[in-house]
Chains A and B, each alone.
Chain A
């Protein structure tokens, strides 16, 4: 995946000038067209930067709710790309293991039992979907920061990338959000093993991101030098998606 470079001052000017007529002909559900749409995406990188460097606190924890506040599971939406295409949730390949690799000193593989043996975090929190709905659930798993310590990233590792067995779904992450204490690889939901529709056997969960950043059906977690986009991000959704 290649990404276009940053914005020039002229781009800003064009964006400003175009915003006028663009807004007035808001008609036709215009996304900006071939000229503006890429520039709007480039502008989104500025909001990514502000979101990570200014808004994101590495230590602030999201509010936790009592178990009684949980959204009934049948009302808590679940989806996957495979479901959207074939009306079936993806099944874990035989002998599934989490692979942690990329720019690390000691790449490792983990079974679910190994992950369950590591320090665990459990919280009942509000889930924020980019669509505007929320739902409350309990998630249990191992912090991404704990795994990171075990594999010891190299100094040139600047981003994380999560891949899945869900029809190519993936997400790129900034390290600051990934190392947040409430960013976990979750193997349980509401006190029971992760159901298939929620990403079994293992999914990413976090209180500092929108839902579409939380890769389900995770296969690999790799440290990278370059910023990986992601399934929705490559189609234009904001990359950072911090909340």
Chain B
């Protein structure tokens, strides 16, 4: 399809972690939505906090839920939590040891290129700014999603053990708020994933193949 030589883009471990994470995340969210249905409010009983929640009082449709009932959902959630966290740690460990983190971590010096990239996307700048493996906006996204994963796990522990880990629960503003933040991370995950898939398909379809085979033959082959 193109005369560009293919370049090796993703290590097998990264590809494995990526797809496993996608599966576990779907399972975590689906079982989480079933758990939410048991008390679809945030804040103390009878006196809910005035927090934005379009789904207050409602359950989610059956196709979006996993577990069948509260107990089944809890068992799914607490079983999948292990591979979800382990996959994340393996991925981060690989980035740290391989040095790959340099291509992904958004740093202060990426601010300016990120702005240029944004201007380019808004058609206020004609030339695609030079980039390495990923552009600065991608770095921001791929750094942010790791932070989001960490927040989802930590807020999960905060509501799993609010007495034993009371310091962590307090960090999120108490049990009721920690439960809310845990819920909010779901919608950021969903939003990220939709945008992520949309951009892959619209801007750089060969990157999908690269995440499966490891080899990239698209328009942005340069490497840090």
Contacts and interface: CB of A to CB of B under 8 A. Distances in A.
Contacts of A20: 23
A126 B112 CA distance: 48
B70 interface: yes
Contacts of B163: 60, 62-63, 128, 207-208, 243
Q: How large is the interface on A (under 10, 10 to 19, 20 to 34, 35 or more residues)?
A: 35 or more
Given A24-B26, A129-B39, A132-B39, A32 B76 contact: yes
A55 B66 contact: no
B34 interface: yes
Interface in A194-243: 207-208, 232, 235-238, 242-243
Given A29-B67, A131-B70, A132-B36, A55 B164 contact: yes
Nearest to A232: B71
Q: How large is the interface on B (under 10, 10 to 19, 20 to 34, 35 or more residues)?
A: 35 or more
A173 to B, nearest CB: 16
**For chain A, what secondary structure do more than half of its interface residues adopt (helix, strand, loop), or is it mixed?**
loop
Interface string B31-44: 10011101101001
B126 interface: no
Interface stretch (B78-86, B88-96, B140-148, B215-223): B78-86
B164 A75 contact: no
B120 interface: no
A76 B45 CA distance: 7
A238 to B, nearest CB: 6
Nearest to B27: A23
B56 interface: no
Nearest to A23: B27
B13 interface: no
Given A41-B75, A236-B71, A30 B175 contact: no
Interface of A: 15-16, 19-20, 22-24, 26-32, 37, 40-41, 43-44, 47, 51, 55-57, 60, 62-63, 71-72, 75-77, 126, 128-136, 207-208, 232, 235-238, 242-243
Which 9 pairs from chain A and chain B are nearest by CB? A23-B27, A75-B46, A31-B72, A26-B30, A31-B68, A131-B38, A132-B39, A236-B71, A40-B75
